Amino acid sequence: MRDDDRLVEALREVIETTDPPPQRLIDAAKASLTWRTADAELAELIADSATEPVAIRSATEAPRLLTFTAGDTVVVLEVTRDAGAHRIMGQVVAAGAATVEVRHADGVVSVTTDADGRFRAAPVAAGPISVSCRFDDDRPAVVTSWVSI
């Protein structure tokens, strides 16, 4: 074993002993690997209202808007807090019937879109989420990158 490898191993042991990762984080990381879909296109996050400057102050929390894109398909999500969990209203802009799965730390919420690609999913736990869209026609599935809500 090289000196660098021994040092990395010693550092790993120190970190695991003094500041181990929370079990919820470990479970979410393992679950994300089981949710991978090899034949799906990855939709990348192109806009997030949480990273944009706020122009006005409000007494209520504004919904968070997320936009993902993969080829000709756009997935738009509006995330709002709803009684301790989150509610997601979304639209797949590539109209057509699709099954949408909102994957989160506590499980999966599966819904179908209407004719215009709109859907609603709740309850969704706080933490990392990813959305999978499987179309009823011959288009490849689309899976969003993971984002924390």
- Name the amino acid, one letter, at 13: E
Percent of the chain exceeding pLDDT 90 equals 51
Reported as a single tens digit per residue, the pLDDT across 47-86 is: 999 887 665 555 567 899 999 999 889 999 999 997 788 9
> Where are the domains positioned within the chain?
1-34, 39-148
Q: What is the CATH number of domain 39-148?
A: 2.60.40
Q: What is the rounded distance in angstroms from the CA atom of residue 71 to the CA atom of residue 128?
A: 23
The H-assigned helical ranges of the chain are 3-18, 23-34
Handedness of CA 28, 31, 32, 33 (dihedral sign): positive
Q: DSSP state, 145?
A: P
This model's pTM is above 0.85: no
* Residue 33 pLDDT level (bands cut at 50, 70, 90): low
